Amino acid sequence: MVRKILQKYGIRGGCHDQHFLIDERILDSIAEEANITEDDVVLEIGGGIGNLTERLLEKAGKVIVIELDPQLVDVLHDRFPDNEKLEVIHSDVLKVDLPKFDKVVANLPYSISSPITFKLFEQDFELGILMYQYEFAQRMVAKANTEDYSRLSVNTHYFADASIIMKIPPSAFSPPPEVWSAVVKVVPRPAPFHVDEPEFFLNLVTAGFLQRRKKLRNAIIKGNHLLKVPNIKQIVDELPEELMSKRAENLEPQELADIANHICKMKNVT
Ligand SMILES: C[S@@+](CC[C@H](N)C(=O)[O-])C[C@H]1O[C@@H](n2cnc3c(N)ncnc32)[C@H](O)[C@@H]1O
């Protein structure tokens, strides 16, 4: 069925990360995982030829699709004519203000996974069922003291409970990508630890992982263009040596938050 639609519209894919999911069972499972009801406004980023959109429209009260490629925007209008539940926004997802939504379900364009994910983390929503390149998904859910633990892992942990719920082979797509994919379930929740100044904490995490092989003390001093603390050397020298001599990759999100809170307090009194 999905292959027929690709043929009908003469779409080959390839540019703009266009690898269309053609495995009907996986498409069904992704839609099921989103547990959509009539009350839900669902956002889909990169609607493509509408194979996932079709399933979202069956259950949701409203589906908002953001699609960059004008040819695919035409396909979406053609496949779902006069469907009052559907709104198609022809735009680059990174350049548009996101509409309000309850759930986001998408087979994302992999080359911009990172900026899309950080943009989603600024929104208020209930659930995300998101397909990524497998390695990216692993970095999202990675724990401290592992190779994959990164700025992305800490940001993800700060914003949501995230877990890999499906691993998907290249053969599920047309054209097949060179990499495996994974579906990540993202359930936003309040952070499991206290942060005095969220922006400062996230900048400290960025500074720490920009120099991930350096001791945290040196990484913070080097990354102070992000933190803008006038007396940073003095402050980090007053922090416990056992924390400052570790690398960011060896510190739990909570420990990074404690350090950020401490620097915040010191910068405000000195
Ligand atoms: C991996 S395909 C997924 C298509 C479809 N949802 C599916 O599952 O088969 C990614 C889609 O994102 C669209 N896309 C790429 N970059 C985009 C951007 N910056 N903003 C919005 N859509 C984009 C592509 O045109 C393509 O339709």
Q: The domain spanning residue 106 has which CATH number? A: 3.40.50.150
21 lines ligand 1 (CB under 6 A): yes
Which of 2, 20, 110 to mutate for ligand 1's pocket (most ligand atoms within 8 Å of CB)? Answer: 20
In this prediction, residue 270 carries a pLDDT of 55
User: Each residue of 227-258: pLDDT tens digit?
Assistant: 999 999 999 999 989 889 999 999 999 999 99
149 found inside a domain: yes
- 86 alpha carbon, distance to own chain's centre: 23
Q: Which of 34, 75, 74 is nearest to 184 (CA)?
A: 34
What does the block give as tokens for 238? 């007053």
Q: In this structure, which residue's CA is closest to atom 11 in ligand 1?
A: 46
Amino acid in position 135? E
**Would you say 244 and 232 are in contact if contact means Cβ atoms under 8 Å apart?**
no
Whether residue 130 has its Cβ less than 6 Å from ligand 1: no
Q: What is the pLDDT of residues 63-79, one digit of tens each?
A: 999 999 999 999 999 99
Both 157 and 38 in one domain: the answer is yes
Residues 49 and 148 in one domain: yes
Determine if ligand 1 sits within 6 Å of the CB of residue 96: no
Which pLDDT belongs to residue 159? 98
Q: How many distinct structural domains can be found in the chain?
A: 2
In a domain, 7, yes or no: yes
Cα 150 to averaged position of ligand 1 atoms, centre (Å): 26
Question: According to the model, what pLDDT value does residue 105 have?
Answer: 98
Residue nearest to atom 2 of ligand 1 (CA): 18
pLDDT value of residue 42: 98
Same domain, 31 and 111: yes
Whether 132 and 237 map to the same domain: the answer is no
- Structural domain boundaries enclosing 232: 198-267
Any binding-site annotation on 92? Answer: yes
Task: Give the CA diameter of the chain.
Answer: 68
Residue 45, φ and ψ in degrees, nearest 5: -100, 120
What is the value of pTM for the model shown? 0.95
Q: Which of 188, 223, 248 is the last residue of a domain?
A: 188
Q: Which residues contact 199 (CB under 8 A, 6 or more apart)?
A: none
Q: Sign of the CA dihedral 190, 193, 199, 201? A: negative
Please tell me if the CB atom of residue 22 comes closer than 6 angstroms to any atom of ligand 1: no
Q: Whose alpha carbon is nearest atom 6 of ligand 1?
A: 47
pLDDT at 87: 98
Clarify whether residues 153 and 88 are in a common domain. yes
Say what the pLDDT of residue 14 is.
Answer: 67
Residues 19 and 141 grouped into a single domain: yes
| Same domain for 252 and 137 | no
In the numeric block, which tokens belong to residue 104? 């986001």
Are residues 247 and 157 located together in one domain of the fold? no
Residues 18, 129, single domain; the answer is yes
Question: How many angstroms is it from 108 CA to the middle of ligand 1?
Answer: 6
Residue 193 lies in a domain: no
Whole-angstrom Cα distance, residue 205 to residue 14?
35
Q: What is the pLDDT of residue 12?
A: 77
> Residues in the chain with pLDDT < 70?
14, 270
Does the beta carbon of 78 lie inside 6 Å of ligand 1?
A: no
pLDDT value of position 260: 96
135 belongs to a structural domain: yes
Does 179 reside within a domain? yes
Residue whose CA lies nearest to ligand 1 atom number 14: 46
164 and 205 part of one domain: no
Domain identity same for 55 and 179: yes
Tell how far the Cα of 125 is from the centroid of ligand 1, in angstroms: 21
Whether 49 and 176 map to the same domain: the answer is yes
Return the CATH number at 212. 1.10.8.100
* Whether the complex's predicted ipTM surpasses the cut of 0.95: yes
